[in-house]
Homo-oligomer: A and B are copies of this chain.
Amino acid sequence: MSRLTLYSYYRSSAAYRVRIVLNLKGLEYNAIPVDLLTIGENDGEYRDVNPQGFVPTLKDIQRLFHQSLAISEYLEETYPEIPILPSVARDRAQVRVLSQMVACDIHPLNNLRVQDYLREKLRASEEVVREWYHHWIREGFEAIEALLERSIATGEFCHGDSPTLADACLVPQVYNARRYQCDVSAYPTILRIEQNCLALPAFRDAAPENQPDAA
């Protein structure tokens, strides 16, 4: 029995990030699937675990941790043996910037609750929702591609030649972009890094289709 439990949903890209981080660090965990499509806003039980009703939530020694980036930083501080952040402050900042360009500027705009709002409250057609989705992917990926291109720190991965939190954020976002038929061919650096990541079991094992709750 592992001391770590992850409330996860196979298709949640925020949960996917934390699965990658756990795998990179070689940490075993029990996965509890939470079906985001059915729990809904009124599911009191999971709201006791996470007041936002979001995944992921991590349980460590009976304590609950929310928010994928906060969970990742917690894991980094608590299990530092295999780091996911560089050691120098300015490099750590660069990794966090890339992570937040995904976690703050792309993902929140495209997640399920926003798509639902567009459809239900704004009566948006599927085409309008798709264009919305593609628009924020383009805005975000163009900026990430530009930042990766101009940085001398970019290597085999987003920062240097070993995977970091930035890669754990980027790969799930590229996965989602493809799932929604976004054209990602304009981002060669992102694609090159994605390919290097997917060569590692830590990333492959975290993929949605390899989760126990995959449809």
- Residues from chain B with Cβ under 8 Å of A135 in the complex: 117, 121
Contact B104–A92 (Cβ < 8 Å): no
- Whether A93 pairs with B105 at a CB distance below 8 angstroms is no
Is A93 within 8 A of B73, CB to CB? Answer: yes
Given A67-B100, A73-B92, A117-B132, 13 additional A-B pairs, CB 8 A? A51-B142, A51-B146, A51-B150, A67-B101, A67-B104, A69-B69, A70-B100, A71-B93, A74-B89, A100-B103, A105-B108, A109-B114, A121-B132
Q: How far is the CB of A136 from chain B (nearest CB, A)?
A: 9
The closest CB in chain B to the CB of A47 belongs to B146
Q: Number of A interface residues, CB 8 Å?
A: 44
For this chain, the copies found in one complex come to 2
B96 touches A77 (CB 8 A): no
Which residues of chain B come closer than 8 Å to A121, judged between CB atoms?
131-132, 135
Contacts of A131 in B (CB 8 A): 121
A65 to chain B: closest residue by CB: B93
Smallest beta-carbon distance A165→chain B, Å: 11
Q: A69 near B122 (CB under 8 angstroms)? A: no
